[in-house]
Structure 1
Amino acid sequence: MEVLRVFNNNVVLSRDPDGREVILTGRGLGFQAKPGQLVDLTKVLRTFVPEDGRDPDNLGAMVAAIPPEHLQLAERALEAGRAEMSIPGSTVLSVALADHLSFAIKRRRMGLDFEYPLRAEVTHLYPSELRAAQRILWFVNSRLEEPLDDNEAVAIALHLVNAGFATGDLSYTYQMTGLFTQLFEVLEQAYGRAFDRNTVNAARFITHLRYFFVRANSGKQLEEGAGKLRAAINESYPDAYATALKLQTVLELRLGEPLTPDEVTYLTLHVARMVDENRL
């Protein structure tokens, strides 16, 4: 296996014997490595295989942005969750959970706790996922000096639910791709600068929109419980909120249905993260 791209000292992009591009992690794996060199397989700790047509570069950048200990924590926590239900061995799920936990740990250290919406819905509609999420959260908290809030189980449960979403309908993918392009154009007009689609926060924004499409098509938009969070975010990021309202207009015109206030709140949060990556 040879190095295709180096993301940082611990993460590289390579090609496996089956011809697939894969993300490899391991301490010092990328140190002084250059494209074309052979991978030191003795240093490889984890292999992430992009799924569902995910861009290997985007996934690699996200993996590189997550502390290695949080990647390991997420994978071990998922194993703990499998005591409650069958959880697929998904690269996307592992990375998404690690990214969520890493952000939640950072927020906890800053004293910022979220009240996630849909607790009642998750409790009634996805009891197995919630039980597994609670087991995952218990495992995570047993390894942290500052345990995460119990509400994080709701968000983790939704990650488990989302892991089961898959569609082979290319027209759906085309619709999303065209809309993503339009939304980025709105962002660029609002801020008068270009946004790199390959950044970690752009990837997070796109992932959020993918899940939003699923919620909108199933009539299950985020719809209660985020009032305090909404007020705090809108006050802290007024420009991002104004931009989110513009995105809301585009989405409503394209999808033919109104967005709930909670959906706009999370759009605001993602816009804020892309605009000022140092604050969130």
Structure 2
Amino acid sequence: MKIKKILNNNAVVVSDNNEEKIAIGAGIAFQKRKNDIVNPGKIEKLFVMKENEKFQQLLQQIPEEHFSISEEIISYAEDCLGLKLNEHIHIGLTDHLSFAIERATEGIHLKNKLFDEIKILYKKEFDIGMWAIRHIEKKTLVKMPVDEAAYIALHIHTSKPQSDDMKQTLRQTAIIGEMIQTIKESITVKLEEDDLSYQRLMTHLRFTLSRLSNENQPIMDEEMLTMLKNKFSISYKIAQKVAKLLSKNYGIHLPEQELGYITIHIERIRNR
């Protein structure tokens, strides 16, 4: 495996079986030149990068330390999740982190408006994000705002196999935030983010939107639905408000069966 191009001390472009790949590893390019043989023991990651040129441009524009930190976070995330993330994360997360570190160094902190939703909907990814900001602080001595954990969580989530892209994930998360806000304004009980009923409601709303996009609807018999309407009339009316919000703002139509399940979740919160 020969080096075709050195990107930085920890990343090189190699020729592997007549295919161009990116090889990453600590000090992989140390004292190396083009056409030198790569030590296989130095390779920590080896992959084909479809966005090869963009990746190379990025590495030329950011500090090498930022790239190394990003790769350490990606490796940690893959270990925690037990899966390989999409190759684009090497560009998307690295670019985001480098800019975020620069902002934090200058004392500029961006508020993440979807922080509460991300923290609950993508809990594993958020926990990884929390580890990541601590890791960045340890490596750079730059204090990172907690909002960054949520941004990192989104990058990790959208890089998982079969996940929606960033645009669709942000849209869905924002819609859930509006649904939750409608419910909050309609009940007298204060919603606490660490409340299990609240977390179940938010998770259910996430899967509701996913089911609607996949045209895979839950089944609830008419007798059960009628009972819920009568017994939990206040919660059902709140669920109807949520349905009107989705219909008016997004053209999303909730079937009555979904209203029934949302009613159950709202009732749990009202009577916790």
TM-score by length of structure 1 reads: 0.50
Taking the aligned partners of 1:28 and 1:124, their CA distance within structure 2 comes to 39
Name the CA shift for 1:85/1:41 in 2 (closer, same or farther; >3 Å): closer
Query: Which of the numbers 118, 137, 159 marks the counterpart of 1:122?
Result: 118
The structural deviation recorded for 1:13 is: 2.8
Larger mean Cα displacement after TM superposition, 100-109 or 154-163: 100-109
Where does 1:182-261 land on structure 2 (aligned, <5 Å)? 211-213=166-168, 215-216=170-171, 218=172, 220=174
Give the conservation status (yes or no) of the 8 Å contact 2:114–2:174: no
The structural deviation recorded for 1:74 is: 2.2
Where does 1:51-200 land on structure 2 (aligned, <5 Å)? 54-81=50-77, 85-164=81-160, 166=162
Corresponding residue for residue 14 of structure 1:
14
Corresponding residue for residue 48 of structure 2:
50
Name the CA shift for 1:223/1:66 in 2 (closer, same or farther; >3 Å): farther
Taking the aligned partners of 1:32 and 1:219, their CA distance within structure 2 comes to 46
Name the CA shift for 1:219/1:38 in 2 (closer, same or farther; >3 Å): same
Give the conservation status (yes or no) of the 8 Å contact 2:3–2:38: no
1:111-164 CA-to-partner distances (Å, cap 9, x unmatched) read 211111211211221122112221222222222312211111010110111112
Taking the aligned partners of 2:132 and 2:82, their CA distance within structure 1 comes to 13
Taking the aligned partners of 1:158 and 1:149, their CA distance within structure 2 comes to 16
Taking the aligned partners of 1:27 and 1:58, their CA distance within structure 2 comes to 22
Taking the aligned partners of 1:16 and 1:127, their CA distance within structure 2 comes to 38
Give the conservation status (yes or no) of the 8 Å contact 1:7–1:64: yes
Name the CA shift for 1:59/1:50 in 2 (closer, same or farther; >3 Å): farther
Q: Which amino acid aligns with 2:16?
A: D
Q: Secondary structure of the equivalent of 1:142? A: helix
The structural deviation recorded for 1:221 is: 6.9
Corresponding residue for residue 23 of structure 1:
22
Name the CA shift for 1:85/1:164 in 2 (closer, same or farther; >3 Å): closer
1:23-45 CA-to-partner distances (Å, cap 9, x unmatched) read 24576949895xxx523414966
Name the CA shift for 1:85/1:30 in 2 (closer, same or farther; >3 Å): closer
Q: Which amino acid aligns with 1:13?
A: V
The structural deviation recorded for 1:11 is: 5.1
Give the conservation status (yes or no) of the 8 Å contact 1:117–1:222: no
TM-score by length of structure 2 reads: 0.51
Give the conservation status (yes or no) of the 8 Å contact 2:117–2:176: no
Matched residues, number:
179
Q: Please tell me whether Structure 1 or Structure 2 has the larger radius of gyration of its CA atoms.
A: 2
Identity %: 20
Q: Secondary structure of the equivalent of 1:41? A: coil
Q: Which amino acid aligns with 1:73?
A: I
CA RMSD of aligned residues (A): 4.0
The structural deviation recorded for 1:73 is: 1.8
Taking the aligned partners of 2:47 and 2:137, their CA distance within structure 1 comes to 28
Please state if 1:39 is matched with 2:36: yes
Gaps of 5+ in 2: 179-248, 251-272
Taking the aligned partners of 2:64 and 2:45, their CA distance within structure 1 comes to 13
Q: Which amino acid aligns with 1:109?
A: T
